[in-house]
Chains A and B, each alone.
Chain A
Amino acid sequence: DTAVSQTPKYLVTQMGNDKSIKCEQNLGHDTMYWYKQDSKKFLKIMFSYNNKELIINETVPNRFSPKSPDKAHLNLHINSLELGDSAVYFCASSQALGETQYFGPGTRLLVL
């Protein structure tokens, strides 16, 4: 029944570790996104994929690498985690570029 799902919901880890967040959508959408929301609620686009092709790659440290194995999945891998990476990461999807984006529940990442 869930439209856009993310795992895990919470992630607590030490500085320097590598972690992945998974996202899946069952809406049949072609486009998927990753957003970062910081402690001040600022919501910023990181990446987007359309039909598995990278479309948006904002100024994000190259420690962040998205991977889209198919149109229904977009995962985010983060290497060498830093304190400043602590945030809520939202996955979203839309039918096509420019159309309404539907957000997943978010992954709360805390780097200690």
Chain B
Amino acid sequence: QQPVQSPQAVILREGEDAVINCSSSKALYSVHWYRQKHGEAPVFLMILLKGGEQKGHDKISASFNEKKQQSSLYLTASQLSYSGTYFCGTAGSGNTGKLIFGQGTTLQVKP
């Protein structure tokens, strides 16, 4: 079952904050966040494992609420380079490495 991301698209001014949500109907073991720029490959941002942890680097952080089967990606003080499509990939138990990706959230940061 594909996770659902919201919003589908967001437009920001430089310096503004954004939150992207990822919600699954199935129990999750881990959530992986990627950013993809047009014509390029998805680039790994962070991985969150079961345990409700929160991670971050620079001004991008994420949380994982396993009870609610949700993860959120927080972009603080957005920069032009943050523009792209953000995907969450979810993995259930079983450790097959199988990631099911959401439909993506397109983020555009304007000067």
CB within 8 Å of B: which residues of A?
31, 33, 40-45, 48, 50, 55-56, 90, 94, 96-106
Contact = CB atoms under 8 A, between A and B. Distances in A.
Contact of A101 (B32, B36, B103): B32
A97 B96 contact: yes
Contact of A44 (B42, B97, B101): B101
A56 B41 contact: no
B44 A102 contact: yes
Contacts of A56: 96-98
A103 B98 CA distance: 14
Contacts of A43: 42, 87, 89, 101, 104
B73 interface: no
Given A31-B97, A50-B97, A56-B97, A105 B41 contact: yes
B101 A48 contact: no
Given A98-B91, A100-B32, A90 B97 contact: no
B44 A48 contact: no
Contact of B97 (A40, A41, A94, A102): A94
Contacts of A104: 41
B43 interface: yes
A45 B91 contact: no
B100 to A, nearest CB: 7
A100 B91 CA distance: 11
Contacts of A103: 34, 41-43
B85 A48 contact: no
B41 A55 contact: no
